[in-house]
Amino acid sequence: MTSITSVSQIELTQRRKQLRQQRRLRLLQTLWQTLTVSTIAGSMAWVVTLPGWIIRKPDQVTVQGNRFLSTKAIQSLLPLSYPQSLIQLEPGLLAQELEAKAPIVAVTVTRQLFPPRLTVQVRERFPVAIATPSPTSSLGASTAPSPESSPPDLLKAGLLDANGKWMPFKSYASIDRSFKLPALRIIGMREQYHPYWSQMYYQISHSPIKISEVDWRDPANLILKTDLGLVHCGPYGSSFPAQLNAVAQMQKLPQQIKRSQIAYIDLRNPKNPMVKIAKMTNAVKSNTP
């Protein structure tokens, strides 16, 4: 019994010693980990505040891809407070903020540490026409767009890009004072016209005759305002390019008929253009080829 008791005491003493050593080891590990984390955190704080990695003025923000909005206008829209650490910047959030504030399709923001710069690559929505809602007081119920046929935006004056995307005037005017309105105006734009607008705009922009206005209030009769006067085209369709060519061939018409006498040019059949004389009931066939 005496030997067993003495052996047990020796084992207990050794175990206590091992436990004390393990506690010391764990304490050392904890202290080492704490010191390591503190050192890393301190190093990061030091790196963040390095003078070489801080942008101090808008001139250190390079804007690329902008053709319509000025560089200063885009720089002013970035949610930056100078001086600003490049390490603390979140490019994704900056891009989202800029897309929400400006008529821009896509934004890519990248950081450059040496030398410290911020590069903002943008793809703008370029306005090509002024969209004017239909004056319903002068239109019949059959031609005036209704809230059911047009989204709320198209019932207000604004701007259109080449794809028919509507934008408010303030999206440009309030951003850039050098903003100039597009020369082309469209009246009566509707949601169902969107599939055709891109192609129509391309055809109009390449027309040899200047077209300043497109009146699309009546789907059965597209009316163009040109240098020769009003042109009635009927419903928009595959014959539209031929109609524009017919208008181009009538450039000498003012030498034959005074513009004040022309009510409109009827090009529903581009092979047989007709000139409607003002205050007369009969249509006069154009002598132009």
Domain membership of residue 249 (yes or no) is yes
Position 110 scores a pLDDT of: 94
| Cα–chain center distance at 19 | 68
Q: Report yes or no on 242 lying in a domain.
A: yes
Residue 154 shares a structural domain with residue 81:
no
For residues 57 and 151, membership in a common domain is answered with no
Spell 247-273 as b/e; 16+ CB within 10 A means b: beebeebeeebeeeebebbbbeebeeb
More confident residue, 89 or 213: 213
**What is the residue type of 223?**
I
37 in a structural domain: no
DSSP 259: G
Same domain, 198 and 218: yes
Compute how many other C-beta atoms are within 10 angstroms of the C-beta atom of residue 224: 26
Provide the domain limits for residue 205: 127-285
Q: Is residue 271 helix, strand or coil?
A: coil
209, 189: one domain: yes
> Of 157, 153, 149, nearest to 132 (Cα)?
157
pLDDT at 137: 36
Does residue 289 register a pLDDT over 50? no
Same domain, 113 and 222: no
**Residue 142: predicted pLDDT:** 42
262 and 135 together in one domain: yes
The answer to the question of residue 211 being in a domain is: yes
In a domain, 22, yes or no: no
Whose tokens are 């004017």? That residue is 132
Total tally of structural domains belonging to the chain: 2
Tokens of 18: 């091992």
Q: What is the pLDDT of residues 26-37, one digit of tens each?
A: 877 887 777 777
Q: Which residues contact 102 (CB under 8 A, 6 or more apart)?
A: 69, 73, 74, 77, 124, 171, 175
Q: Are 211 and 243 in contact, with CB atoms under 8 Å apart?
A: no
- The verdict on residue 191 lying in a domain is yes
Tell me the CA distances in angstroms from 181 to 169, 265, 279, one per residue in order. Answer: 9, 28, 35
User: Residue 116: which of 73, 146, 69, 80 has the closest Cα?
Assistant: 80
Predicted confidence band of residue 217 (pLDDT cuts 50, 70, 90): very high
Co-location of 272 and 137 in the same domain: yes
For residue 169, what pLDDT is reported?
A: 82
In percent, how much of the chain has pLDDT > 70? 80
| Co-location of 147 and 192 in the same domain | yes
| Pair (120, 88) in one structural domain | yes
Say if 187 falls within a structural domain. Answer: yes
User: 110: part of which helix (H) or strand (E)?
Assistant: strand 104-112
* pLDDT value, residue 152: 55
- Per residue in 63-105, pLDDT (tens digit) is 999 887 888 889 988 988 888 888 888 999 999 999 888 888 8
With tokens 């934004």, the residue in question is 107
Three-class SS state of 277: strand
Extract the tokens encoding 116: 């410290």
Same domain, 142 and 87: no
CATH of residue 61 = 3.10.20.310
One domain, residues 177 and 247: yes
CATH of the domain at 156: 3.40.50
Q: Which of 124, 154, 184 is the last residue of a domain?
A: 124
Q: In terms of C-beta density within 10 A (0-12 exposed, 13-18 middle, 19 or more buried), how is residue 200 classed? A: middle
Final residue before a domain boundary, out of 124, 146, 173:
124
- From 124, 141, 162, give the residue that closes a domain: 124
Place of tokens 């009146």: 215
Residue 25 lies in a domain: no
Cα–Cα distance measured from residue 70 to residue 125, given in angstroms and rounded to the nearest whole number: 13
139 and 274 belong to one structural domain: yes
